[in-house]
Amino acid sequence: MTEAQTVPGLVSAQPSGNSTTATNPSSKITIESKVKRPSLKSFSRTSKTRSRSIDHDPCRESARRWTTVKSLYTLARPQLLFLFIGFIGAVIAGGAYSGDAVIFGTTINKLDPCNGISKIKATGKLAGVLFLILAVSTFLASSVGGSAFGRVAEKIVFKLATAYSVSFLIYALAYWWGARQIINNTYSQTQFFIVLPALLFSAQACGQMFALAPDVSNARLAATRLFDVINAKADNKSTSSLYPVDVLEDPRLERDAEKALADPAPAMPIPHQKAMAVEMRNVRFAYPQLPNVPVLNGLDLSIQAGQFCALVEPHGAGKSTIFSLLESFYMPSSGTVNLDNRSITTTTTPSHRSSISLVPQSSALFSDTISFNIALGAHPSHVPTNDELVEACKQANIHSLIASLPQGYQTQCGANASHLSGGQKQRLCIARALVRQPRLMLLDEPTSALDAQSETSLQETIESLRSRMTILVVAHRLCTVQRADRIF
């Protein structure tokens, strides 16, 4: 408020800016009185107060709550009866837990009155309330999730209906146009019913083929990489490459694919071969992803033919990398890898793979019969007989289990061998490796999923095979390889 000063003989008072002026015509005396002007701080405080009042407006908060309630009601309305029945069931279930808790507290009270009667009762009531809240929350969460899924499903159904409507509309327009042409004697009925269905069905088939184009491209790329590994060649010019052998553009891909998909050759007995000697001289290696982090740094390894040797190192020491180098999946940056005094880093074709069997730590089995999975380990030019499959399974200590199954060796393993336990998968992989009768057998932690009895049986099997093949085992426990000739 502005207060003007009272002066005798005052004639007029006019506000001007920040002052009030009083003028006396006789004396012409001007008197100014200062007016209080709000500062910036007061304006900011006022704006903050207004914003807070708007944010905490009870009307707006109630409107938001009402909107939330309406949304939940819209979701739950189709299943309102079931929600009510489920809520009653949840209350009954929670009440049952509460009753059990109270009865438990009362029973303890009667048995031992010195253990805090009031505390036991209070704990029982609290447990009952918690169980009640859990039951109700679980039911409501599942109900809301089901309602949301229903709404999404309705949208998908609407889109499908729209797509089918467009398709049928095209059919209707085509038949309408054909009818007009028949009426105008442009085409005959026979011509119309020959050409139109052929065009429509051809367009439909082409659309389905185009939809499968990405899958066909991915399958071709996967097949290319697979045949690259099978037909990989070492680099004769340099053995110091840090990268795996790369032959992505192989013009013989189609020819190799036809050979691989052709009928297998008739079964032929494999002549007995002696075990394989392994030698690694000053091998250095680093993975392409981390070229500055050496995995193997000047490794020297010598294994005589027919020996049972073990690699016992902590995780990340490069044991599995040694297996990859022996199978020519990677080339060492320096040094040589010799098998039977022959360097595999300079050979043109990795033919030595046919004499090596690998048992990985993670079991990889296909969704087919047991006999099919075991026969995959045989030599590429050899179709194993039933006797060979049985002998391999006996050596892996799994024949009795397979024989006890209703369908025997024709039992389905299921998707990712889901019908078998971890130990059974591991023993099947060992049998698959033994059916090839390899010269060099690589086992990457083969007893990780076996029990004590199966582990002892496997060790005895390895003992019986050590004279016919060279065995190299990766292990983390010394007790697993205590019978080995050499431990690195």
Q: Residue 184, class by beta-carbon neighbours within 10 Å (0-12 exposed, 13-18 middle, 19+ buried)?
A: exposed
Q: 338 falls in which pLDDT band (50, 70, 90)?
A: confident
Give me the helix-helix angle, 386-395 and 422-434, nearest 10°.
120
Question: What are the C-alpha distances in Å from 79 to residues 84, 87, 173?
Answer: 9, 12, 41
The per-residue pLDDT for 58 is 67
Q: Whole-angstrom Cα distance, residue 19 to residue 32?
A: 5
64 pLDDT above the threshold of 80? no
248 pLDDT above the threshold of 70? no
The per-residue pLDDT for 126 is 64
The arithmetic mean of pLDDT across residues 372-400, rounded, is 85
Q: 261 falls in which pLDDT band (50, 70, 90)?
A: very low
Q: 128 falls in which pLDDT band (50, 70, 90)?
A: low
The arithmetic mean of pLDDT across residues 56-71, rounded, is 72
Q: Whole-angstrom Cα distance, residue 375 to residue 368?
A: 11
The per-residue pLDDT for 61 is 74
DSSP string across 232-290: ----SS-S--SS-------TTHHHHHHHHHSPPPPP-PPPP-----EEEEEEEE--TT-
The per-residue pLDDT for 255 is 53
Question: What are the C-alpha distances in Å from 320 to residues 106, 357, 442, 466, 485?
Answer: 62, 14, 10, 21, 20
The arithmetic mean of pLDDT across residues 353-381, rounded, is 83
The arithmetic mean of pLDDT across residues 411-433, rounded, is 81
29 pLDDT above the threshold of 50? no
277 pLDDT above the threshold of 50? yes
pLDDT-wise least confident of 15-19, 139-143, 324-328? 15-19
pLDDT-wise least confident of 28-32, 176-180, 197-201? 28-32
Whole-number percent of the chain with pLDDT over 90: 0
More confident residue, 173 or 388: 388
The per-residue pLDDT for 271 is 43
Backbone angles phi, psi at 359, to 5 degrees: -110, 100
The arithmetic mean of pLDDT across residues 128-155, rounded, is 65
pLDDT, tens digit, for every residue of 192-239? 888 777 777 777 777 777 777 788 888 888 888 877 766 665 444 333
